[in-house]
Structure 1
Amino acid sequence: MDIPARSPEPSLPAGIAYSDVSTRPLFGDVPFGYGSAQQGQLCDCFLIASLCAVAGTESGTLRKSLTRRASDGRITCGADSHEDTLPTDGSGDIYGTTPDGSSWVGHLEKAYAGHLGGYDKLGEGGWPSAALQWITGRETRTIETATLDESDLASVISSGRPTVATCSGPPGSNAALAREYQVVYQGAHAYAVKGIDADRNVHLHNPWGQFHPKPMSIGTFRELFWRIDTC
């Protein structure tokens, strides 16, 4: 069996340090769902929304993604391993967290930061397509919503696969509609797509853990969200 290589600890911004979290459970007892991951003080909604989407559709993938190695207590993620520590500013976790206090979100975020070259790089943002592929190991499909009619778009959204939608618009562009549906619109923001209800309204989950958009029609979704990534 190949032993995961010892990975360098991802670089941290000034004023942030690593704290030992080895006494905390890696995974909690609460069932996985869209609300299992929550974004912290880092602009990585693309990654946390992707974790939310996978947690809501195929939680087994996440449980297989991390292991606390018995021999030395390090956390393994794929072919890499890192220390059982997470970033803190002295007041507690400041980046990705879970409602149940387990550490899996922070460790996957740390592994992805290492993949990119540090937390500063992770905080520069990215695309859900790359994050979904990294999490699941499968190819992802990126679709511009304007290229699909409402029926085809509804089929993609209701597929049951991990799916993330990204909104973006200049100031004044659909701003009133975005405010009506509680969508963070000025600047790209990613949401986990939960699906469509019987009235054909799209339901979305904000990785912040709050300020979730109101259910919206397919037409409204297409106006506010220009891109979806699914795997």
Structure 2
Amino acid sequence: MHIIFRLLLLVALFTTLSYSQGARGGSRTGGSGGFRSSSRRVSGSCVGSNCRSTGIIVGSVIGGIFALLAIIFFSVYCYRRYRRRQVQSNAIVSYQSDRGGDSKVRPMNEPAYFKSGDWTSRYHQYGRWHGPHQISLMFDQYASRVTGHGYDDVGPFTISGTFSVENQQIALNKNYQPGAGDLKENFGHTVTIQLTWNQNHAQFEGKWRVETNSYRGEDKFELKLGKSS
């Protein structure tokens, strides 16, 4: 595309230069009165208004050709950029699952640490660590949602939340089942948990937070993959 455009440009410039050299009207002759037009008309030259009109026409044609080439070149360039972005945004990879060898498809940017299976957690409260406790988590890679269940010092609970591959974060709601476990601590309340992946410790770390009528507090929380399914 670039080579064709340059060749056409050279042809147009050569044509313009050739025309300008042959478009000089009349000749100059010596004499005491100054200049006078030659009685003979040189072949291939033009005189007066005819020359000017022809120059305008030729210039318009050449300008139109350049404008058309510019539009075509710009359209092809935009189309190629659009196709390149479409290919990048739709990039996927196929892999074989561990069970049965069924072929599945997942996004290429799915990190290895968002895996469904058994996780262990612990939380810091009242000046000491509690746990580890086992949590079963299921990650939906396409909806970016996570669900699960488990049991800790307070009682049985269910998990619901979301995760971000780009930010490497998890936001969880830990909902305790009322009337079970430690009745002094279990009010059937919800604990909100915000976690970020720590590459050095190979686990998610952050804080839990509780706000009820009888208790408010927050402290550290850790979540680590145990056995993936």
Q: TM-score of the superposition, structure 1-length normalised?
A: 0.19
**Quick check: which one's strand share is greater?**
2
**Quick check: which one's helix share is greater?**
1
- Answer 1 or 2: higher relative contact order, Cα 8 Å, separation at least 6: 1
Q: Which has the larger radius of gyration?
A: 2
Q: TM-score of the superposition, structure 2-length normalised?
A: 0.19
